[in-house]
Structure 1
Amino acid sequence: MSPIFPVTDLQRALEHYAALGCEVSQHDSGYGFAAMAGVELHLTVVADHDPLRTAAAAYLHVPDADDLAARWAGVERTGAPVDTDYGLREGWHIDPDGNLLRFGSPLASGG
């Protein structure tokens, strides 16, 4: 499954996802890709994209939420993971177009 995220500026989006450690590529002037660890996001230019109305979201199940958060720590709008009541350790990241990436891993035993 590959979520499709609306963006207003494809080059900015590709640079942003490259800063997160993704391998990025461009299909044409309005469509690109960001891939990491078997997950691929599709990025499509939507001229009238309004983050308050048309942003998208995806959830990433990762082996270690703290590790991913540490790798993304230098990129703005990344939230440190917290323990949840439902047994996951979760963090978040919001891209420049308001799209949300939530990520989480199981809590360590006894945590």
Structure 2
Amino acid sequence: MTDARACPILPVTDLDRALAHYAALGCTVSRHDVTYGFAALAGVELHLSVVADHDPLRTASAVFLHVPDADDLARRWADVPRTGEPVDTDYGIREGWHIDPDGNLLRFGSPLPSTR
């Protein structure tokens, strides 16, 4: 297997709101139908699926995005609420976070300069 990729499926309660949110993050968004859509950014594709009984406290998801520069991504997402500034971790990653309106966590990080 040489061309495998993963596309996480995130539960959402309102597809229009989710698509608008991911567009604000700089994603290219599209929809398959009224219950399923897509958000793509720099080769990463997230699938957004309406789940009627989605409860962010019980059923939210998390995705880790490996990025070249966590600080750059944090700057680009700074005007979107619920984005955390990157910090240096003891496991060699400079890591930040973002939580979408449905409670899905996007963690993003890049290697610390000493670990590149």
Q: What is the TM-score normalised by the length of structure 1?
A: 0.97
Q: Distance in 2 between matches of 1:56 and 1:83?
A: 23
Q: Secondary structure at the match of 1:48?
A: coil
Unaligned runs of 5+ residues in structure 1 are none
* Matching residue of 1:40: 45
Give secondary structure in 1 for the equivalent of 2:7: coil
Query: Over residues 14-63 of structure 1, what are the superposed CA-to-partner deviations in whole Å (9 max), with x where a residue is unaligned?
Result: 00000000000000000000000000000000000000100011000000
Q: Distance in 1 between matches of 2:58 and 2:51?
A: 12
Q: Work out the CA distance in 1 between the residues paired with 2:86 and 2:76.
A: 12
Aligned pair 1:60/2:61, yes or no?
A: no
Task: Give the deviation of 1:108 after TM superposition.
Answer: 1.4
Which aligned pairs between 1:12-23 and structure 2 lie closer than 5 A?
A: 12-23=17-28
Structure 2: which 5+ runs fail to align?
A: 1-5
> Pairwise CA RMSD of aligned residues?
0.9
TM-score (norm 2): 0.93
- From 6, 13, 27, the equivalent of 1:8 is 13
**Number of aligned positions between the proteins:** 110
- Distance (Å, rounded) in 2 between the aligned partners of 1:52 and 1:100: 12
**Aligned residue type for 1:54:** T
By how many angstroms is 1:109 displaced?
2.9
Q: Which runs of 4+ in 1 moved over 4 A?
A: none
